[in-house]
Homo-oligomer: A and B are copies of this chain.
Amino acid sequence: MSEHQDEKVIGEYPYVPKQQRAQAKRQALLESGRLLFIEQGYEQTNAKEIAAHAGVATGTFYRYFVDKRQLMMSLMNEQLDRLLPPIHDWTTNNPESYLAIRLEEHYKQLDQLNLNLLLPELLVKDSQLAELFEEIRSKMLRRIISNLRSAKKQGLVWDDLNVETVAWSILLLSEQIPEAMIQGRKKEDFQHLAKVICRLVFPPEKLEQLKTNK
């Protein structure tokens, strides 16, 4: 996500460095911020610490970021839409394996940055972030809903499927990669989860049909 996005959320940077050195410094600050936020929590981390961890002076922090919040926002902006599962157009072909792959990818992204651990704290604190996140979530939900609706029209799903509830369930199950998995991290786990989600949507025979079509 570009600087343009940043501006949408957080306004102008005090200084967006062009030179390689400075860019590296900015990145170091972002990374230090991410690590310390995750380790200690957002509120428990202060600018001085972040600067020290990044190997720069306190003042330098403020050359690159307006304040701690902006650094956090920059982190989030880059990743906010990655925090939600990338589920769309999955009701065709082999939904189970498709989902399993997407969920695993998603998990790997989460695992890389771990920003999802920060989100709960931040959403309470920062209504702007909360709104933005909610917006993205809504979009995602609407996408799942429209997906389910078209599958319903095609008669692929359970007769009595309540689209909204199931869509919600899917979003929930897939965005919070069950912590159980965080320990195991086995491929099968994602397949199990994919199967669970598919069961919510497709009767066994329809699912079988979709699988063999492929």
- Give me the interface of A with B, judged by CB distance under 8 Å: 41-44, 117-121, 123-125, 158, 160, 162, 164-166, 168-169, 172-173, 176, 178, 180, 189, 192-193, 195-196, 199-200, 203-204
Contact = CB atoms under 8 A, between A and B. Distances in A.
The 10 closest A-B pairs by CB, nearest first: A120-B120, A165-B192, A41-B124, A162-B192, A168-B178, A43-B43, A121-B121, A121-B124, A41-B125, A169-B196
A38 B176 CA distance: 23
Contacts of A172: 172-173, 176, 178
A44 B125 contact: yes
Contacts of A195: 160, 162, 165
Given A165-B189, A172-B172, A158 B125 contact: no
Nearest to A180: B168
Contacts of A180: 164-165, 168
Of A158, A160, A166, A169, the most chain B CB neighbours within 10 A belong to: A169
Copies of this chain per assembly = 4
Contacts of A168: 178, 180
A204 B176 CA distance: 27
A75 to B, nearest CB: 15
A196 B120 contact: no
A204 B205 CA distance: 13
Nearest to A193: B165
Nearest to A190: B165
A120 B158 CA distance: 34
Contacts of A193: 165, 169
Given A165-B196, A178-B172, A123 B120 contact: yes
Nearest to A168: B178
